[in-house]
Structure 1
Amino acid sequence: MRNQAATDRGPTTQPDPDSNDSKARKHQLRLLAIGVVAGAALTVGGILAFTSIIGGNTQTQTDAKPTPSSGGDKSSEPPGQGQEYTPVTARPVSLFKPRSSAKGIGTGFEHSSLGAESAAVSYWQDFDLGDEAIAREQWTEVTSEDSPETIDRGVSGTVGEPLLIAVPKDGKAVVKALLSRSLDDSGKVIAVWMYYDRLVPNGEESADNKSLKGETTYLIVKWENGDWKVTEEPQYKTKVSGPPSYHPDSKAAFAAGWRRIAHG
Structure 2
Amino acid sequence: MDHQRKVRRARLRLATLSAAVVALVAMGGVLAFGSVEESGSRSPRAEASPDRTSSAPRAPGGKKHTPATASRVRVLKPESSKNGIGTGFPHTAMGARSAAVSYWQDLSFIDDQAAERQLRTIAASPSDPVVRNGVSEVRKVREGVGLPPSGGPPNGMTVTTDVKAVLLRSLDRKGDVVQVWMVYDRYATSPEESTDDNPLRDQTDNLIVTWTKGDWKVTEQRRWVRRATGPRAYDPHSPYAFQDGWRQVADG
- Give yes or no for TM over 0.5: yes
1:178 aligns with 2:166: yes
After TM superposition, give the deviation of residue 153 of structure 1 in Å. 2.1
1:245 aligns with 2:233: yes
Tell me if 1:201 matches 2:189: yes
2:101 partner SS:
helix
Matched-pair identity in %: 45
Alignment of 1:46-85 (within 5 A): 81=60, 82-85=62-65
Is 1:212 matched up with 2:200? Answer: yes
1:125-170 per-residue CA deviation (whole Å, 9 max, x = no partner) reads 0012342211110011001117522112223458xxxxxxxxx984
Q: Distance in 1 between matches of 2:135 and 2:168?
A: 23
| Aligned pair partner of 2:222 in 231, 234, 245 | 234
Amino acid at match of 1:124: W
Q: Does 1:105 align with 2:85?
A: yes
Q: 1:154 aligns with which of 134, 137, 145?
A: 134
Alignment partner for residue 101 of structure 2, among 112, 121, 143? Answer: 121
Q: CA, structure 1 residues 222+83, in 2 after alignment: closer, same or farther (shift >3 Å)?
A: same
Report the count of equivalent residues: 175
Q: Are residue 138 (structure 1) and residue 126 (structure 2) matched?
A: no
Q: Tell me how far apart the structure 2 counterparts of residues 109 and 157 of structure 1 sit (CA, whole Å).
A: 27
1:172-214 deviations in Å (ceiling 9; x for gaps): 1100000010000011000000001111116659xxxx73211
**TM-score, length of structure 2 as denominator length:** 0.64
Q: In the alignment, which residue of structure 2 is the partner of 1:60?
A: none
Residue identity matched to 2:103:
Y
| Deviation of 1:106 (Å) | 0.5
- 2:178 and 2:208 in contact (8 A); partners too: yes
- 1:224 deviation in Å? 0.3
Aligned-residue CA RMSD in angstroms? 2.4
Unaligned runs of 5+ in 2: 1-56, 139-152
Look up the SS of the partner of 1:180 in the other structure.
strand
Normalising by structure 1, we get a TM-score of 0.61
Q: Which moved more, 1:180-189 or 1:128-137?
A: 128-137
Misfit runs of 4+, over 6 Å: none
Tell me how far apart the structure 1 counterparts of residues 224 and 58 of structure 2 sit (CA, whole Å). Answer: 30
Worse-superposed segment, 92-101 or 142-151: 142-151
